[in-house]
């Protein structure tokens, strides 16, 4: 089985970017779990902690789906990106750590998530068109 056989080079590149970013995000969530423990809270609500820890499983699952069932992977990726950006923007705003004036780390993390989310939403139709 060769899922990407015959795909245009730009589609393969887009999928590679998705997978690299998702692998980095999964690693970050997994390292946080290993460092602080599952559902550690990290000064957050239980809902945010559950969602954040769940991403350690969802991100690799999306990579798997993108490889074998690309359209299903795209749908899950889009849903996760919307939820992730919404959760983080809300939490950062509520806790006051989102401050563009002082360039806090949380501001840059959210900016990276938004940039990746925009990349996903701009490129997903291209991948969808060529996916089986």
* pLDDT, tens digit (0-9, with 9 covering 90-100), for 80-118: 999 988 887 877 777 666 665 665 656 677 788 899 999
For residue range 58-75, list pLDDT tens digits in order: 999 999 999 999 999 999
Question: 20: which residues sit within 8 A by CB, 6+ positions away?
Answer: none
d(CA 102, CA 62): 34
pLDDT of amino acid 102? 60
Sign of the Cα pseudo-torsion (66, 71, 72, 78, in order): positive
pTM, entire model: 0.84
> How buried is residue 107: exposed, middle or buried, by Cβ count under 10 Å (0-12/13-18/19+)?
middle
């Amino acid at each position: 089985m060769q899922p990407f056989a015959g795909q245009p080079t730009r589609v393969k590149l887009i999928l590679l970017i998705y997978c690299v970013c998702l692998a980095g995000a999964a690693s970050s969530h997994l390292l946080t779990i290993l460092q602080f423990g599952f559902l550690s809270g990290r000064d957050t609500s239980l809902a945010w902690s559950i969602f954040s820890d769940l991403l350690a499983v969802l991100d690799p699952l999306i990579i798997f789906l993108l490889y074998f069932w690309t359209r299903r992977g795209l749908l899950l990726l889009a849903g996760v990106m919307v939820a992730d950006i919404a959760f983080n923007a809300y939490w950062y705003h509520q806790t006051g750590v989102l401050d563009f004036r002082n360039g806090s780390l949380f501001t840059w993390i959210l900016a990276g998530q938004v940039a990746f989310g925009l990349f996903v939403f701009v490129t997903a139709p291209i991948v969808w068109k060529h996916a089986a």
